[in-house]
Amino acid sequence: MSTRNIFALLAVLLSAAAASASDCLSIQNASQHVGETKCVMGKVLRVKVGARGVHFVDFCEDQMACPFTVVVFPHDLKDVGDVRRLAGQMIEIHGPVKLYNGRAEIILTRVSQLTGGSTLIPPLPKNYDVEKQGHYSAGRIRPTKKPAKTYATPAATVTYGNEADVNGEPPQ
């Protein structure tokens, strides 16, 4: 194979890669493709946890005014991974575009739907509970509690005070 053929092959591959990247829609255009399976591209600002452990991947400052969102249900987190790590990343998500409450959305059910920042998603910790309230910290170890102090009871055979015999003879 000549170098000319190699360069031609590389040019075809690079143009195919560029064409596939341009197939993704912006979040503003996603609502025009409801009912179709598309690729939507955007920068994730934050990931919020809603009621009952549903995760929302937000692309806009005002979530309610944003034209597009990604939803991850709690039962899908084991297949998707820790989506909280997507914050600040540019991602591409592939899937059917649906309309919910007037906004376009894609439901993320597996990590293979993501490209871009998906390599940064580690699996969830084994003991992660989406319904657990408060902050979650993996790997934090707390020292064991010290046992309560116990005090010895005095022996009944010990004599005190005036009962002690100074001469060494037992009292009668």
Q: What is the pLDDT of residues 11-63, one digit of tens each?
A: 444 444 444 445 888 999 898 999 999 999 999 999 999 888 899 999 998 87
Which residue type, as a one-letter code, is found at position 66? C
**Which pLDDT tens digit goes with each residue over 112-133?**
888 865 555 666 666 666 555 5
Fold of 33-120: OB fold (Dihydrolipoamide Acetyltransferase, E2P) (2.40.50)
State how far the alpha carbon of 121 is from the alpha carbons of 16, 84, 87, 126, in Å.
27, 8, 11, 15
Per-domain residue ranges of the chain: 33-120
Backbone angles phi, psi at 137, to 5 degrees: -135, 115
CA 44/CA 10 separation, integer angstroms: 32
Buried b (16+ CB within 10 A) or exposed e, 8-25: eeeeeeeeeeeeeeeebb
